[in-house]
Chains A and B, each alone.
Chain A
Amino acid sequence: MTTSFLHPSLLLIAGALLLPFIREPFRKPYLLLVPIFTFVDVVYLGFNQGIYGQVAFLDWQLTFGRIDALSNVFAFIMALMAIIATLYSLQVEDFWQQMAAWFYVAGSIGAIYAGDYLCLFLFWEIMAFASTFLIWCNKAEKDATAAGFRYLLVHTFGGLLLLMGFVLRYQATGSIAFELLDYDTHSLSTWLIMSGLMLNAAVVPLHSWLPDAYSKATIGGAVFMCAFTTKTAVYTLARACAGFDVLIVLGVAMAIYGIVYAINENDVRRLLGWEIISQVGYMVAGVGIGTALAINGAAAHAFAHILYKGLLFMGAGAVIQMTGKSRFTELGGLYQKMPVTMLFIIIGGVSVSAFPFFSGFVSKSMIIAASYEEHLLWAGFLLTMVSAGTFLVAGLRLPYLLFFSEPKSAEVTDRAADPPWNMQAAMIVAGLLCFVLGTFYPLLYSMLPHQDALYHPYSAYHLSETLQILAFTALGFMLFRERILARATISLDLDWFYRSGGQVFQWLAKYPIQWLDTIWGEAYRVVGLFSLMTTARFWAWFDWHGIDGFLDGSARGVRSFGRLLARVLQRGQIQHTLAYTVTFVALVLIAFIWM
């Protein structure tokens, strides 16, 4: 282990553990400084790429820091987004939220730097657990606890797929190195690993957790969540599954699926969640194409996407925080009360819609161009069709329903106002970056993994193509606007299977199984319990007074300590118990790396 390597995740984890002890007036500067130091660390490592943090653990060689061009560009944007999102949630008093968020970012950066499956799995699970707390912390949403459990269960399932995959692979090859999998000699382990990674990327049909969870998270929590989970998964797919043809089909499918659901959606953050699925579809398709240009496109699009989607979630969060409403059927006409928020939602909308001079224009088109270059015309045309849909949803429907449609209730309009200064500042930073990336695109391109694959977004042909599509999508919106107004409905999705499947299990547990249990318990009480209890009482008495009295009462001491520990640690709230467990694991990890 070289001396110059300080893992950025360690900074964040240590920062998060110290956070509860920091009080105002130091709290706000501290909240900003920790992610800023993390970012500086990531940038420093970006300039000193190489393999760091190799640790021998049992029979394996763990690699905590594989820093190359591909991992660097993802870690860079994650660390940058951590600053913006922390700034956005600066006014939050509940330190659990910021701690969870930093653990979550630490998991994401750790997974990106991981050079083997064990490290990857460790940080992968930290990410899943920490982000669950961002949902549970939301006291304003009554369904948040249930949604958090659904989210955690789905991600545990994904983690298990990954675990089974790399254990099988280790058995077959004897290596835990996290490298490109061989498509030609694929086996069950290849598909298990791919499915585990795909679940976090919300690839159809493993996607339903995303809109469900992101719409239930806290205001700031959703801003963190929209950036890290799916894009970390895109990185891992680019690392392990680049060039897998099946990902092209799945990516295009999720791009279409997401946008179709977004058109019908009534909840503002669910709509944005559907659009994440749609946009990540481009990246997954890019990974599936697997050429230098396509991988560059996937990385660039992930970079741009984190910023504009963060911006959109910040705007949506501002609306929800200031009005207390999240449904389009209860919102409208907010432009008079929230002009700053409106401006930044529109900037986010035009960025995602790939307007010239905004970030989507220079990133999304790389993936489409790569699909044409590989003569995958169907993929190119379908992804272009989804571009039109993206503008329809994020550039037109979203701002129209929030800001320009008729106000639904005077009470909501009275309450609305632009959010506090720090939330506005975060939106300004993200909005500016969207513009800077789209206009001074060489800044972004110089960080991409394949410097030999050249691409020029501002050709006359690309400009004319984009402008035509945008203008005539606007025409389509004008013609059919009435059809996609807000409706007080939800759209059934594949989560029906586990949400209603759970009810079937509950019914089984409630009636037949409970009945059997009652009968069994009764029989046991009558026949077995009396004689058993009498014998047990005697031995307990003997043990307590006979043996422990003999051994200086040490058992009594252990028992009272155990009770104290139980009182502190086990308050009956599984959320707290989980937090303590994860913190404990993190501490062990830190100790392990440093020793």
Chain B
Amino acid sequence: MIQFIDFLKKRGREIRYLLYGTMAAIVVWSMTVDTSHAHTWAEKYIPGFWALFGLVSCTVLIFFARWLASAGIEREEDFYDD
């Protein structure tokens, strides 16, 4: 297993392309899935809605967390030590 991870680590570019390929395949497949039971308009008519939602969510959370940290809650690790 360790050798396998070493092998993967050397091939960052190939893995990235593989990931892009998987993403594309997932989005293409999602367009064929029956959306008649979906709850909102957006899910039915925007292709790849959840892909977009996932990317936006993740980005929003990262930037919000960093903004909150820089807004004053981030302190040195010894803050509570006397």
* Chain A residues close to B by CB (< 8 Å): 259-261, 263-264, 266, 335-336, 339, 343, 372, 377, 380-381, 384-385, 388-389, 392, 404, 460-461, 464-465, 467-480, 483-484, 487-493, 499
Contacts and interface: CB of A to CB of B under 8 A. Distances in A.
Given A343-B1, A389-B57, A470-B54, A484 B74 contact: no
A233 to B, nearest CB: 26
B75 A468 contact: no
B55 A475 contact: yes
| Closest 6 pairs (CB-CB, A-B) | A476-B58, A469-B54, A472-B54, A263-B65, A468-B50, A385-B57
B26 A467 contact: yes
Given A464-B33, A467-B26, A491 B57 contact: no
Given A461-B38, A468-B26, A471-B23, A484 B65 contact: yes
A393 to B, nearest CB: 9
A484 B54 contact: no
Given A260-B68, A468-B51, A380 B39 contact: yes
Interface string B71-82: 011111101100
B49 to A, nearest CB: 8
Secondary structure at the A interface, as helix, strand, loop or mixed, is: helix
B58 to A, nearest CB: 3
A42 to B, nearest CB: 37
Contacts of B66: 263-264, 483-484
Secondary structure at the B interface, as helix, strand, loop or mixed, is: helix
A377 B30 CA distance: 21
B75 A385 contact: no
Interface in B16-33: 16, 19, 22-23, 26-27, 29-30, 33
Contacts of B75: 489-492
A468 B48 contact: yes
A168 B55 CA distance: 49
Contacts, number: 142
B56 to A, nearest CB: 8
Contact of B5 (A335, A372, A461, A490): A335
Contacts of A339: 1-2
B59 A469 contact: no
A492 B73 contact: yes
Contacts of A477: 58
Given A480-B59, A483-B66, 16 more contacts: A260-B68, A266-B77, A335-B5, A339-B1, A384-B53, A388-B57, A389-B57, A461-B35, A465-B30, A472-B54, A475-B23, A478-B16, A484-B66, A490-B74, A492-B72, A499-B80
Interface residues of B, number: 47
Contacts of A266: 77
B58 A388 contact: yes
Given A489-B77, A490-B77, A490-B79, A460 B54 contact: no
A427 to B, nearest CB: 15
Contacts of B73: 491-493
Given A266-B77, A475-B23, A491-B73, A260 B65 contact: yes
A389 B54 CA distance: 9
Contacts of B80: 490, 499
Contacts of A335: 2, 5
A474 B57 CA distance: 12
B34 A473 contact: no
Given A461-B34, A484-B66, A499-B80, A473 B60 contact: no
A473 B57 contact: yes
Nearest to B81: A143
A350 to B, nearest CB: 15
A266 B74 CA distance: 11
A336 B5 CA distance: 9
Contact of A472 (B34, B51, B74): B51
A471 B26 CA distance: 8
Contacts of B51: 468-469, 471-472
Contact of A468 (B30, B60, B63, B64): B30
A389 B34 contact: no
Given A335-B5, A475-B19, A475-B23, A483 B54 contact: no
Contacts of B57: 384-385, 388-389, 469, 473
Contacts of A472: 23, 51-52, 54-55, 58
Contacts of B2: 335-336, 339
Contacts of A478: 16, 19
Contacts of B72: 492
B74 A491 contact: yes
A464 B74 contact: no
Nearest to B61: A389
A328 to B, nearest CB: 12
